[in-house]
Structure 1
Amino acid sequence: MRIGLYPGTFDPITLGHIDIIRRASTLVDRLVVGVAINRDKGPLFSLEERVAMIEAETARLNLPDGTEIVVHPFENLLINCARDVNAQVIVRGLRAVADFEYEFQMVGMNRAMDASIETVFLMADTGHQAIASKLVKEIARLDGDVSTFVTRDVNEALIAKFR
């Protein structure tokens, strides 16, 4: 079984994340969406809320036959999480050159720790390249419209958080 790990904080999950999940699911038999418990980032949504949002959004996807999506919270090193879920591949989405510079360093460190786990980069769809969770939260906080960046349910969750 080919298992991929798509890690992130998903605070909140955006249309860009959903696009990467959909596309990555065509490459593996099981895609584990690793939800990072990153206390340093001070997430807007709790871990439970982020997991629930991802589960709800991925349940709506029309996946290839037999493809399974699992949501898995983690707080350890990414490479250890990959080992924990038996992933052979780490999937990362790239939006811009700045993303690549950071990801390039991360791949080097991960390969030094476990060369058996590959990293695959998927370029963001052109319609989603500007979407970043951090910016979505800022726009929503300032009462801006983020409905073109997130699903209806996530938009409603953002509105409720900032009321």
Structure 2
Amino acid sequence: MKIAVYPGSFDPVTYGHLDIIRRASSMFDELIVAVMCNSAKTPLFTLDERVKMLKESVKDLSNVRIESFSGLLIDYCKENDIHIVIRGLRAITDFEYELQIAQTNKELSHDQVDTVFLTTNLKYSYLSSSVVKEIASYKGDITPCVSDFVADALYKKYESK
């Protein structure tokens, strides 16, 4: 059984993330979308809120499981017997950063973890969670970027601030 993990902060989940999730889920028997608790970032949404949004977003994909983790990805992979990491690429600048992380993970895992890069659909290549949050903070239209329930959650977050 081929299992892969797609890690990220997903703050919030965008159509770009969902594009990668859908395509990766068709390539593997099981895809775990692992929401990171990243101490270097201050997310807008709590870990539980991000997990809930992802579960709602992928409820039609029977081979996708949503989990959360903190710490090193390679430790999570080792604990769960996962040898394949999925990463999405929007542009060459993503590749430079992601390649460095992939090589580090491969080295630290003693060649036990490989990374598979998927290029995002061109219609989502401009998308990032940061851009979506900025647009939402100014009450701009984010419906081309995220699901309706994610858009509602974003607008509510900014109304309460």
Alignment TM class, shorter chain as reference: over 0.9
Calculate the TM-score normalised by the size of structure 1: 0.94
Q: Which residue of 2 aligns with 1:104?
A: 99
Q: Which residue of 2 aligns with 1:44?
A: 44
- Separation in 2, partners of 1:83, 1:145: 41
**1:86-140 superposed Cα distances (whole Å, 9 cap, x missing partner):** 2121000000011000011111111111212110000000000000001100110
- Separation in 1, partners of 2:86, 2:63: 15
Q: Which residue of 2 aligns with 1:141?
A: 137
* Superposition deviation, residue 158 in structure 1: 0.6
User: In angstroms, what is the RMSD of aligned CA positions?
Assistant: 1.0
* Superposition deviation, residue 80 in structure 1: 1.1
* Stretch deviating more after TM superposition (77-86 or 143-152): 77-86
> What is the number of residues matched between the two proteins?
158
Calculate the TM-score normalised by the size of structure 2: 0.95
Q: Which residue of 1 aligns with 2:80?
A: 85
**1:54-112 superposed Cα distances (whole Å, 9 cap, x missing partner):** 0010103xx4xxx5211111111011111222212100000001100001111111111
**Once superposed, which parts of structure 1, at least 4 consecutive aligned residues long, lie more than 4 Å away?**
none
- Separation in 1, partners of 2:102, 2:43: 25
Q: Which residue of 2 aligns with 1:29?
A: 29
Q: Which residue of 2 aligns with 1:17?
A: 17
- Separation in 1, partners of 2:43, 2:92: 25
* Superposition deviation, residue 39 in structure 1: 2.9
Q: Given residue 112 of structure 1, which amino acid in structure 2 is its aligned partner?
A: E
Q: Which residue of 1 aligns with 2:152?
A: 156
**Residue 119 of structure 2 corresponds to residue 123 of structure 1:** yes
Q: Percent identity?
A: 42
- Separation in 1, partners of 2:69, 2:47: 10
SS at structure 2 position matched to 1:41: coil
* Stretch deviating more after TM superposition (125-134 or 107-116): 107-116
* Stretch deviating more after TM superposition (94-103 or 105-114): 105-114
Unaligned runs of 5+ in 2: none
- Separation in 2, partners of 1:11, 1:162: 14
Q: Given residue 87 of structure 2, which amino acid in structure 1 is its aligned partner?
A: R
